[in-house]
Each structure stands twice: as structure tokens, then as C-alpha cells.
Amino acid sequence: MPLPSAANRPTAGIVEDVAASFADPVRPGTRVRYGMAVAVLGLADVLATLPLLNAMGLVISVIARLYFVAWLLKIVRVTVEKPERATEWPDLIDPVPDLFFPFLRLIVAAALAFAPAIAAVVFMNGTDRPLAIWLLLVAGCAVFPPVLAAVGVFECVSALSPVQFARLIGRSPAHWAVASSWLAVAVIVSVGDAALWGKVPFVGPFGDAAVALFAAIAFARFLGRVVASLDAEPSAAR
């Protein structure tokens, strides 16, 4: 996907991009889908707690999460081309690749970004090195947004080459810094939010899904606006 020209962007900077991204989950065109996604994920988690329906809840939860990951990556791609356009549900023309390929791209991006932190947790087991692990987690949060953009938006591995990756970050370092900070805060909030809502039976899963999806939709919209802010340079997208 070639990068669009920055001259075509409807906003002027980071503050406008953050504000528009936070407003996206509740704006017309997105809020209905946001509410539907919360209802489906919340219902699946409730069913998973019931003895006779837990298998059904697990199946619904897995399929729903695969579908919503595909939707979130579609939000990023649509935002790159038209930042103000609401994103429709993904088309499942060929269900298997349409569901699993976006999830696979997300897993690849997460693995590349957080592999050092995961390795540190495994190999430092029993040693007192929490600071090193936290530093690696922070580094993963810094690397994950541009990695996700490379594999999720451009849908090519060549954007992960050291030269192209450095150029991708170097063309808008302030935007990537905000995206990385946003991700780190979202992870911390999500962990605390899950622990809090976990104490509320039946209603808790819906509240947890509402907070997690709100943060995910806003982050996906912002990531798309970050990519849209880059000046056109076809060689960076090949």
C-alpha cells in the first residue's frame, strides 16, 4: 500500500489526531458496531462461566476475537486512505484466510516486538532482574506500533528491513512516540480494568470488553492516522 501525501490529511497535528481517535468509538458509523462488539464479547465471556454453556462461550469468544482483530486492522487501513471514514465490518469472502491472516499478522507483530521481554521472563526465571524485564517491555511497546503498521497496513515483510523500518520511524518520530506511550498506558489500564471488572459477576465481562474495545478502536484509528501523516515515498511501502 503506497503512503498517501501528507497534504491530503484533514488534521494539522498530533493533538487533533489523538482527539479524533478517542472520539471515534462513539461517533456515528462506529458506535453501533462498537456496541455490537461489546455485546458479543461480553456474552461470550458470560457463557464461558456457565457449566453447561462454557464450550459454546469459548467457541463464540474465539471466533469473535478473530473477527474483531480483522476489523481493527481494517480500521487502520481505511484510516490511512480516508481518516474520517467509518470502517464497515470485514468481508468474509474466504472465511479462513480473512479471519486468520489478520490475526497472524498481529501475532507476528507482537512476537517481533515482545520476543526479548518474553525470552527474559523465561530465562531469568528465579533471578532478580525485574528492571531488565520492564525495560524490555517498554522497548516492546515502543517497537510494536511501527511493526504492526509494517505487517498489518503494508501487508509485506520488506517494510521490516532495518533500513526501511528506520526510515518509517524517522519520518514521523513524534507520532510514533505518542503511539508507543499510548500502547503502554493502554496495557496497564487493561490489566487493572480486567482485575476490577473480574470481581463483578455477569456485568463485569461487558464492562471489561467495553474498555478494552474502546482503547483498541481508538489506537487502531490513531495508528492509521500516523501512517497517513507520512509523506508519500513509495519505496518505503514496497
- Give pLDDT, residue 34: 93
- Give pLDDT, residue 1: 45
Residue pointed to by grid coordinates 490529511: 9
- List, run by run, the mean pLDDT of 10-residue segments along the chain (238 residues): 47 76 87 92 85 81 89 87 81 81 86 85 69 82 83 68 71 82 80 74 86 90 82 41
The cell numbers describing 78, all together, are 481505511
- Give pLDDT, residue 125: 65
Rounded CA gap, 72 and 78, in Å?
A: 10
The cell numbers describing 24, all together, are 471515534
Q: How buried is 79 (Cβ within 10 angstroms: 0-12 exposed, 13-18 middle, 19+ buried)?
A: buried
Element housing 218 (H / E): helix 204-228
By three-state DSSP, how is residue 91 classified?
coil
Residue pointed to by grid coordinates 482485575: 195
Rounded CA gap, 218 and 182, in Å?
A: 10
Domain ranges of the chain: 6-237
Other CB atoms within 10 A of residue 118 CB: 15
Name 109's Cβ contacts closer than 8 Å, sequence gap at least 6.
144, 147, 148, 150, 151, 152
